[in-house]
Structure 1
Amino acid sequence: MPPSTPRLVVPIDLKKKPWEQTLPLHNRWHPEIPPVAEVKDGEFSRVEMVYRTGGSIEDDDSALDVKTVDLSAVHYLSGLIRVMDKEGIPAKPGDLLKVEICNLGPLPGDEWDFTATFDRENGGCYLTDHFPSATKAIWYCEGIYAYSPHIPGEIIRGRMEYLTPMGPTPFHVNPIFNIGPVEPRFSEWLVFEGISVDKGGRQHYLDPTIAYRLAVLNAIDYLSKFGYSKE
């Protein structure tokens, strides 16, 4: 059995900026980015991360930080992590890696998150014409629940994710979500997602019809793995 305490392979100091961390972070998957840590086959390990903006958003009632956030330096990621087999040989392109995610959660002392809309003059969003100003709502995490003092009465229930992309693999994996274990629970569901890019690779920028079509195709492809015909 694995040890009860995971080995910390990528530590994060919340008091430091992303570029001041002990192990360097990155902001994209690319084969030229070297690993900063390694784990062994079957090892129970822990990876800590910063938020996508690197701590530039504050836990307060003001949306000024959202309005002025530097969007040229975002999407901070931990890693890369080299995986070694029992003989000490690193995984290579084409190998199948099975990763069991035992737990996900905020770092101690940082149990909060936010939702926001960016300002028209700094990033904007697909509803900028309707909501041109920056807004922010803070959410506090308590177990699998999250609540916001800025959105009274709203409680978000956590959920588990399966088959999400985790690295520069030679194959593509679509997210499949298992609905969180919170009542009322009517049945078991898998939710398939689609993006608004057509089969020719053209980006249609949040076109729900194209996204829905791709979600259906993803569901069909998934079911076909169990012997069902695609018809």
Structure 2
Amino acid sequence: MLPFILTAALAAAFTARADTTDSQWATEVVIAKQGDHCADDPSCMNRLHPAIPPVAHANPGDFITMGTRDALDSDLTLDSIADDMAALDLNLVHPMTGPVHINGAKRGDALAVELLAIDPDQYGYTLIVPGFGFLRDLYTESYIVNWKLTPRGAVSDQMPGITVPYEAFPGSIGVLPGEPEVQAWKAREAALAEAGGIALAPQPIGGLPAAVCGPEGSHSADCLRTIPPRENGGNMDVQQTQVGTTMIFPCYVDGCGLFIGDVHYAQGDGEVSGTAIEIGAVVTVRTSIIEGGAAGMVAPQVSGNDEIRDIEPTRFHQTIGLPLKTAGEVPIYVTYLESEKIGALENLSEDLTLAARHALIQMIDYIQAEHGMTREQAYILASVAVDLRVGQVVDVPNYVVTAVLNLDVFDKYRN
């Protein structure tokens, strides 16, 4: 009887215990997506203001899991075509999940946010939007690439022979500004717009949460747009913020007001078309508070280990950009300066933007000539797989920016 009794006892012991999924040591705060769009979701916002109430509270060390939406809060699908882009409402950019109040955090502290996991949707897109992007003067027609996302990489019927590796990160992540920051940033951006530069004033139409930022909202004239990154983080689009890295933000309000959105499946340094591989995703982070850590911080910082090395290509092609242009051309980004000197010059001094443009145009020409892609396909590929990098900033007048194409994206080099 002993073997039977022992077997029965062991069976009872094992059946009485749950499987490993029920053995947990960390508290998880889950903020799931609700509804089809940000306007349907009480946990979603697309403007920045300290009056936006928290959608959840979390303690330092908790796992915070957020369902996020694509950058345009769109209805795009694998069957979408360029004509469908006419229905996009840019007043809805960017839908963010949050803010999350971190218990114990105070204004003047810093918030360390460790990126633990990103679970992407199965669909993503990359767009050329007229009037937007680094080469917006050269690309004036709508264009869309629809991506099927797999664990191996992103593939598209519009980009045959290309597989873009999975290197996801949150394009937008940050903390709420305080009232002094809102007023200071609003004033400096208004001054830039008054001078003729590009700056987006607060826009209540489409602003969320509507009770704070909409047309009838309590702070509709002060809710900041999310397109430009600022000292609080936001739309930084820094591809090195991969899973495993820790981002550090100065806190401007008690609780910090953490938000996340605009996840990118992959992106080149520069995001030159104006979009990466834009996706919805589920993102998990955990936080810690650095008491008084905001002192001396003027912008977010990032620390990590081998994440940068892991996203480096094993083979590449590189173009060298110099601050050169044709005589008579006034680069689009300096037209507001109204300088009579710029137009006649063929060489500008210490101009990294012009050098980056020079490198990128050469790279697009190379992709077309060497790999048989159209100019639109080449621009899209550059946005998701070409890194613009500063070569040097000392050899006056010609600072150098390079464009580095990850040749690993071409199936012909891997198979």
Given the two structures, how large is their TM-score scaled by the length of structure 2? 0.38
Q: Which of the residues 135, 140, 143 maps onto 2:151?
A: 143
Tell me, in whole angstroms, the C-alpha distance in 1 between the residues paired with 2:53 and 2:314.
44
Query: Deviation at 1:82?
Result: 0.6
1:145–1:157 CA contact under 8 A, matched in 2: yes
Confirm whether residue 118 of structure 1 aligns to residue 107 of structure 2: no
Deviations 1:144-200 (A, max 9, x none): 5211121011111133669x85223354125678347479648xxxxxxxxxxxxxx
After TM superposition, the structure 1 stretch with the greater mean CA deviation from structure 2, 172-181 or 138-147, is: 172-181
1:115–1:138 CA contact under 8 A, matched in 2: yes
1:209 to 1:182, Cα distance in 2 relative to 1, 3 A: closer
Query: Deviation at 1:91?
Result: 0.8
1:159–1:181 CA contact under 8 A, matched in 2: no
Match of 1:48 in 2: 67
Confirm whether residue 19 of structure 1 aligns to residue 165 of structure 2: no
Match of 1:78 in 2: 97
Instruction: Give the letter for the 1:166 counterpart.
Output: G
Tell me, in whole angstroms, the C-alpha distance in 2 between the residues paired with 1:183 and 1:72.
35
Report 1:98-137 matches (<5 A). 98-106=112-120, 110-119=121-130, 123-137=131-145
Query: What SS is found at the alignment partner of 2:51?
Result: coil
1:140–1:146 CA contact under 8 A, matched in 2: yes
Instruction: Give the letter for the 1:64 counterpart.
Output: D
2:29–2:62 CA contact under 8 A, matched in 1: no
Match of 1:87 in 2: none
Confirm whether residue 96 of structure 1 aligns to residue 117 of structure 2: no
Tell me, in whole angstroms, the C-alpha distance in 2 between the residues paired with 1:17 and 1:93.
31
* RMSD over equivalenced CA pairs, Å: 3.7
| Unaligned segments of structure 1, at least 5 residues | 85-89, 187-202, 218-231
1:5 to 1:185, Cα distance in 2 relative to 1, 3 A: farther
1:161–1:175 CA contact under 8 A, matched in 2: no
Tell me, in whole angstroms, the C-alpha distance in 2 between the residues paired with 1:185 and 1:4.
39
Instruction: Give the letter for the 1:135 counterpart.
Output: Y
Q: Which structure shows the higher strand fraction?
A: 2
| Unaligned segments of structure 2, at least 5 residues | 1-22, 177-249, 253-296, 316-332, 336-351, 357-387, 395-415
1:165–1:173 CA contact under 8 A, matched in 2: no
Q: Which structure shows the higher helix fraction?
A: 2
Instruction: Give the letter for the 1:159 counterpart.
Output: E
Match of 2:78 in 1: 59
Query: What SS is found at the alignment partner of 2:112?
Result: coil
Query: Deviation at 1:124?
Result: 4.1
Q: Which of the residues 173, 196, 206 maps onto 2:300?
A: 173
Deviations 1:41-77 (A, max 9, x none): 2112211111121123232141122233111222111
Tell me, in whole angstroms, the C-alpha distance in 1 between the residues paired with 2:61 and 2:144.
41
Instruction: Give the letter for the 1:173 counterpart.
Output: P
Tell me, in whole angstroms, the C-alpha distance in 2 between the residues paired with 1:6 and 1:155.
37
1:56–1:65 CA contact under 8 A, matched in 2: no
In the alignment of these two chains, the number of paired residues is: 186
Confirm whether residue 10 of structure 1 aligns to residue 10 of structure 2: no
1:11–1:47 CA contact under 8 A, matched in 2: yes
Query: What SS is found at the alignment partner of 1:48?
Result: strand
After TM superposition, the structure 1 stretch with the greater mean CA deviation from structure 2, 95-104 or 153-162, is: 153-162
1:77 to 1:29, Cα distance in 2 relative to 1, 3 A: same
Tell me, in whole angstroms, the C-alpha distance in 1 between the residues paired with 2:32 and 2:392.
36
Given the two structures, how large is their TM-score scaled by the length of structure 1? 0.65
Following superposition, which runs of at least 4 residues in structure 1 exceed 4 angstroms of deviation? Answer: 174-177, 182-186, 203-206, 208-217
- Structure showing greater radius of gyration is 2
